[in-house]
Amino acid sequence: MKLSYCTNVHPAEDLDGVIVQLRNYASKIRKQARMDTLSVGLWIPAGLAQHLSGSESARTKLAEVLKSEGLQVNTINAFPYGGFHDEVVKHAVYLPTWAQSERLEYTVQCAQILAELLPEGEVGSISTLPLAWREPWTEDQDQAATQAFAQLSAELRAIEERTGRTIRIAIEPEPGCVLDTINDIVVWLGSRLDQGIDARLIGVCVDTCHLAVSFADPAGAIAQVREAGLRVVKVQASAALHVVDPKEPAARAALAKFVEPKYLHQVRESGENAVLPTDDLVTALASLPASGPWRVHFHIPLHHQPAAPLQTTTDVLKATVAAVNQLDYVDQIHLDVETYTWSVLPQDGDAGEIGIVEGIAAELVWAQEHLLEPARIS
């Protein structure tokens, strides 16, 4: 697997801003982590994608900066369309949906850009949202999304024929969305392969925070993708919050510090007969029975262990990567560290006090030591 970190942690949305972030953060992270070359999982917002796709000089400028700073791009995060660092993001991150033409246009532009940025001989990946937030979602919208992925398949084949570069799309299940779990995406994609969607080019992004929140079995989830004839295209290395006893006053007080207004923090409770859902942490604290363990969609730095009674789900991350390492095409899968929450971590905790360069470098070192076989570290 090719290790990278996702630049959606940085707020820049135009070319000059992205270049500043690459020089001021990514380049320093590479040096701090003592890596000769660092892969970045580039977030290209829609406005910048449009600019880059229409300007050869802009693409050349970006490529030159990447090279000069010892950086390369194998994967793009095209889930957030824009505004990912607005004061309030919440449900806006799921717009436009895959039923809207803007989403297809944006994703094709990202694929065209990535085909030019890819190192020689490498394949590329682009992660994207799981269709939409779960409601409203109609049969007509679902058919429009199916047609969009069929058209995207054709566009990716055309890029491959024109450039010789293979770009794959990785659909990322997320709690609360139309495709909430790995099972959802396996069923949805698997039932539409006869409608023009190319399983060689359209596959699955396994976000290990999302996987953990759903209380899924990591090995079972990867086996389900494989048995359906689908591909794991990308793994987003991330960890959720885990609380064994959310009724305990100390646990509730610790969790309350993670309530914040910018992002959704979906919560799942492992009940006796079912997993109980809520769409945000503040709602969970008010409404879930707290009779079983909780997992919270709040990306915690991989190397960080919060103070008891809070825990993280790095065990799920490790088990997922171990299962993915058994796939015969593992060398074509991207492992992207995606802790975008540095700006909203509680400031009275150790992680909230760590600088972003030091923190992400520590995550990458942790990932090398705990996730990748020595022969696979790049």
The domain of 235 spans 2-239+313-376
The answer to the question of residue 293 being in a domain is no
- Indicate the pLDDT class of residue 373, thresholds 50, 70 and 90: low
Number of domains in the chain: 1
Residue 137 confidence class, pLDDT cut points 50, 70, 90: very high
305 within a domain of the structure (yes/no): no
Is 232 part of any domain?
yes
pLDDT confidence band for 272 (50 / 70 / 90): confident
Q: What is the CATH number of the domain that holds 23?
A: 3.20.20.150
**Contact present, 222 and 206 (Cβ < 8 Å):** yes
Q: Mind listing the pLDDT tens digit for each residue in 189-241?
A: 999 999 999 999 999 999 999 999 999 999 999 999 999 999 999 999 999 99
Is 334 within a domain?
yes
Rounded Cα distance between 111 and 165, Å, is 10
pTM for the whole structure: 0.96
pLDDT tens-place string over residues 54-67: 999 999 999 999 99
Mean pLDDT (whole number) for 252-274: 96
Cα–Cα distance measured from residue 40 to residue 336, given in angstroms and rounded to the nearest whole number: 8
Gap between the Cα atoms of 265 and 256, Å rounded? 12
Taking only Cα atoms into account, the Rg of the chain, rounded to an integer number of angstroms, comes to: 20
Task: Answer yes or no: is 285 within a domain.
Answer: no
Residue 271 lies in a domain: no
pLDDT (tens digit per residue) in 324-336: 999 999 999 999 9
Among 157, 226, 230, smallest CA distance to 191 is for: 230
Whether residue 260 lies inside any domain: the answer is no
Mapped onto helix, strand or coil, the DSSP state of residue 78 is coil
Whether 221 contacts 206, CB under 8 Å? yes
CB of 302 within 8 A of CB of 337?
A: yes
Confidence grade of residue 351 (pLDDT, cut at 50, 70, 90): low
Given a cut of 70, whether residue 47 has pLDDT beyond it is yes
In a domain, 287, yes or no: no
Q: Which amino acid is at 83?
A: G
CA nearest neighbour of 243 among 253, 231, 228, 229: 253
DSSP string, 312-343: E-HHHHHHHHHHHTTSTTGGG-EEEE----GG
